[in-house]
Chain A
Amino acid sequence: MTEFFQQLINGLSVGSMYALIALGYTLVYGVLRFINFAHSDVFMVGAFAGMYLGRGLGQASVGGGLLVMLGAMALCAVLGMLIERFAYRPLRNRSKLSVLITAIGMSLFLENAGQLVFGPNPQPFPATFPSRNFDLGQVVISSKDLVVFGVAVVLLAGLQLLVLKTRIGTAMRATAFNPQAASLMGININTVISFTFGLGSALAAAGGILWAYKFPKIDPLMGIAPGLTAFVAAVLGGIGNIPGAALGGLLIGIIETFVKGSPWSTWSEAIAFVLLIIILMFRPAGLLGETQPEKV
């Protein structure tokens, strides 16, 4: 039984990481109806930004950790806006396929530029947040798990509030609903889309820092594997839907962990994907997604 609870904690911890990354995919998809494949590489840039900022920090502390995280988030927000401005905006009125291919190109560009700038070898990530273990009888909770889970919950709730309760959130939803109509109502579409990319990229940076804090070896290709899993999580939960991304992330994290701790450990990804297929067979729009007629 203790093993079950320990695995549940492990699963929640890695699942909240997936949830955080999945939010970025879902946010951009929700507004622009396109999958930003460069998201997982902005995640990587976030981790490296955190590494450089963290080295200057010295001693690990909660305040310092938050400072590093905010710094990396700001940097990546700017990076995300630049990517949108120069790579995606010129193609906004072209076919969806052109933007999709550009996103894949942008992803490859960031991965290779990362190898050039940061170096291709794995590097240790400095201590940002302090870490401690809490021994609850037989179950051990690391402060890393708590930080990851806490930050994910706060960002998730903040994002939901922002989208539902603020003016910019309303503008985002209006743009998602109908860009032409929204612009006729006096909404500056460019600002809204730029903001969405900035927000999504800041979330990716937060995810990157937490990932590096939990697994302190980072390299320029570190985003590929978690990015793919998080994308699956976003689709599973219903892409474009914020609570859906969170649910999908947690679900995939928990399933993956339980399979990995069993004798079928090497099947963990296969089982996650089979599950995805089964769920999509019964709920094509994902667990919490709403089916909409696709505009072609």
Chain B
Amino acid sequence: MKRFSYLSLPLLLAILAAGLCGCKPSAEESAADSQIIKVGEFASLTGSEASFGQSSHDGTLLAVEDINNAGGVLGKKLQLITEDDQSKDGESATAVKKLISRDRVVAILGEVASIRSIEAAQICQQYKVPQISPSSTNPKVTQTGDYIFRVCFIDPFQGTVMAQFALKTLKAKRVALLTDVGSTYSVGLAEYFKAGFTAGGGQIVDEQKFTKDDKDFKAQLTAVKAANPDGIFIPAYYGQVTLIALQARELGITVPLFGGDGWEAPELTQGPGAAEALEGCYFSTHFSPEQSAPRIKEFVAAYEKRFGAVPDAMGALGYDSVLALVDAMKRAGSDDSAKIRDALATLKDLDGVTGITTLDTNRDARKPAVILEIKGGKFVYEETVNP
């Protein structure tokens, strides 16, 4: 034991010195290391948005495995290093710092929740490591800087889609809003919905607010009920949507509830009364496993085989985020962070499982949205809206 520590001390010092002077690990690195490309991922694997993180991670993992089985990228294998941010605001910055400084990843993938993607984006931008968010839809995510990308649509589009859906399909003229004021995603989506809905001749009859830890929504819902709306738009995450729906029905509110991609999780309709409370409600998202394109069918089958579950939008976008990264690496002909960034900025016509991805000058994707209806606790494909 003692001998070991004497021997390892100079080694440790050497490693520390190498780390301190910021030398790029090069020829001295073992042969195995130069044969892999390290990609970092941070996700909410546990906590209140665990369903998002787990789906997104499964999709990402499947894509990395597919790429490696097909021979890898640039003659190297991808190595995915995943950190859990526990669905806690603040943890994602720590996770990404660790991935960049200790694991020295060439790129970062993540997250679903916009607020946590923005936190990480500030770190990625600072260290000049490209970040691809699979499914954060708030515009502010990519506005953080030129190293930040996403492979999904943004909320101004999603808000307009749901506004049009409310006006045309639900024939709702009077809608109430219920917003989580602590969530960038929720506040943003509510704002864009409101703009689209009022521009289309609709009227917002009441706006109620809540915060992340709230479980009791009856006060807000009683006020909403008094305003007598035709529908309630709830841009929130699935955990709270279930409780809101249950309490709305308890108060005798029978109008349809609808929301955005934050609703999509199997947990939404789990628990006593949840499926009944949400029957006939709608939400917009990025992907439906029921779509008939062969590319999608193939992906759904592979995902089911690997994880024993049908993929949702977060899984599909996780998959596409890896495809986008690999495409950029191939076109750059390099696994250097700056070169990957430049290639990502010109990403065009990438054929993924959520459709064709082309990034615009804001580093956002323009993609169709899918609207799903909740029937018997299941999510049923309703329609596709093109941008």
B189-244 contacts to A, CB under 8 A, are 208-211, 213, 215-216, 218-220, 222-223, 225-226, 239, 242-243
> Is A219 within 8 A of B48, CB to CB?
yes
Bound complex: CA A127 to CA B243 (Å): 14
- Given the known inter-chain contacts A265-B208, A265-B220, A266-B181, please indicate yes or no for A133 contacting B250, CB distance below 8 A: yes
Bound complex: CA A261 to CA B273 (Å): 24
A60 interface residue, CB < 8 Å from B? Answer: yes
Bound complex: CA A259 to CA B273 (Å): 28
Number of residue pairs spanning A and B whose beta carbons lie under 8 angstroms apart:
101
The residue that A216 contacts in the complex, of B51, B219, B271, with Cβ under 8 A, is B271
Interface size class of B (residues with CB under 8 A): 20 to 34
A102 interface residue, CB < 8 Å from B? Answer: no
> Is B267 within 8 A of A122, CB to CB?
yes
A207 interface residue, CB < 8 Å from B? Answer: no
> Is B271 within 8 A of A120, CB to CB?
no
> Is A6 within 8 A of B271, CB to CB?
no
> Is B223 within 8 A of A3, CB to CB?
yes
- Given the known inter-chain contacts A3-B222, A266-B209, please indicate yes or no for A121 contacting B272, CB distance below 8 A: no
B68 interface residue, CB < 8 Å from A? Answer: no
B344 interface residue, CB < 8 Å from A? Answer: no
Bound complex: CA A144 to CA B218 (Å): 12
Distance from A133 Cβ to chain B, minimum over Cβ atoms (Å): 6
> Is B274 within 8 A of A258, CB to CB?
no
Bound complex: CA A273 to CA B194 (Å): 33
Bound complex: CA A262 to CA B46 (Å): 34
> Is B46 within 8 A of A120, CB to CB?
yes
- Given the known inter-chain contacts A125-B271, A140-B252, A216-B272, please indicate yes or no for A261 contacting B216, CB distance below 8 A: no
Residues of A within 8 A of B219 (CB): 7, 10-11, 256-261, 265
> Is B271 within 8 A of A133, CB to CB?
no
> Is B210 within 8 A of A215, CB to CB?
no
Interface size class of A (residues with CB under 8 A): 35 or more
- Given the known inter-chain contacts A10-B219, A260-B219, A261-B223, please indicate yes or no for A124 contacting B252, CB distance below 8 A: no
A143 to chain B: closest residue by CB: B250
- Given the known inter-chain contacts A10-B218, A144-B250, A265-B219, please indicate yes or no for A120 contacting B272, CB distance below 8 A: no
> Is A121 within 8 A of B252, CB to CB?
no
Bound complex: CA A99 to CA B256 (Å): 52
- Given the known inter-chain contacts A133-B252, A135-B252, A217-B215, please indicate yes or no for A127 contacting B48, CB distance below 8 A: no
> Is A121 within 8 A of B46, CB to CB?
yes
Write out, one digit per residue, whether chain A residues 1-35 have a CB within 8 A of any chain B CB (1) or not (0). Answer: 01100110011011000000000000000000000
B243-282 contacts to A, CB under 8 A, are 243, 246, 250-252, 267, 270-274
B86 interface residue, CB < 8 Å from A? Answer: yes
A10 to chain B: closest residue by CB: B218
Write out, one digit per residue, whether chain A residues 52-65 have a CB within 8 A of any chain B CB (1) or not (0). Answer: 00000000100000
A62-79 contacts to B, CB under 8 A, are none
The residue that B86 contacts in the complex, of A120, A124, A144, A216, with Cβ under 8 A, is A120
The residue that B216 contacts in the complex, of A215, A222, A262, with Cβ under 8 A, is A215
Residues of B within 8 A of A185 (CB): none
A151-205 contacts to B, CB under 8 A, are none
A248 interface residue, CB < 8 Å from B? Answer: no
- Given the known inter-chain contacts A3-B223, A3-B226, please indicate yes or no for A14 contacting B271, CB distance below 8 A: no
Indicate the member of B181, B225, B272 with the most A CB atoms within 10 Å: B272
Residues of A within 8 A of B251 (CB): 6, 140, 142
- Given the known inter-chain contacts A140-B250, A217-B239, A266-B211, please indicate yes or no for A122 contacting B222, CB distance below 8 A: no
A289 interface residue, CB < 8 Å from B? Answer: no
Bound complex: CA A124 to CA B266 (Å): 12
Residues of B within 8 A of A261 (CB): 219-220, 222-223
Residues of A within 8 A of B252 (CB): 133, 135, 140
- Given the known inter-chain contacts A133-B252, A217-B239, A265-B209, please indicate yes or no for A7 contacting B222, CB distance below 8 A: yes
A281 interface residue, CB < 8 Å from B? Answer: no
Write out, one digit per residue, whether chain A residues 96-131 have a CB within 8 A of any chain B CB (1) or not (0). Answer: 000000000000000000010001111011110001
In the complex, given contacts A115-B46, A124-B267, what are 20 additional A-B residue pairs having Cβ atoms less than 8 angstroms apart? Answer: A3-B223, A3-B226, A10-B218, A10-B219, A120-B46, A121-B50, A124-B271, A124-B274, A126-B272, A135-B252, A142-B251, A211-B215, A216-B274, A217-B271, A219-B48, A256-B219, A257-B219, A260-B220, A265-B209, A266-B209
Interface residues of B (CB under 8 A from A): 46-48, 50-51, 86, 181, 208-211, 213, 215-216, 218-220, 222-223, 225-226, 239, 242-243, 246, 250-252, 267, 270-274
Can you pick out 8 interface pairs between chain A and chain B where the beta carbons lie within 8 Å of each other? A7-B222, A60-B272, A119-B46, A122-B48, A133-B250, A215-B243, A261-B219, A265-B209
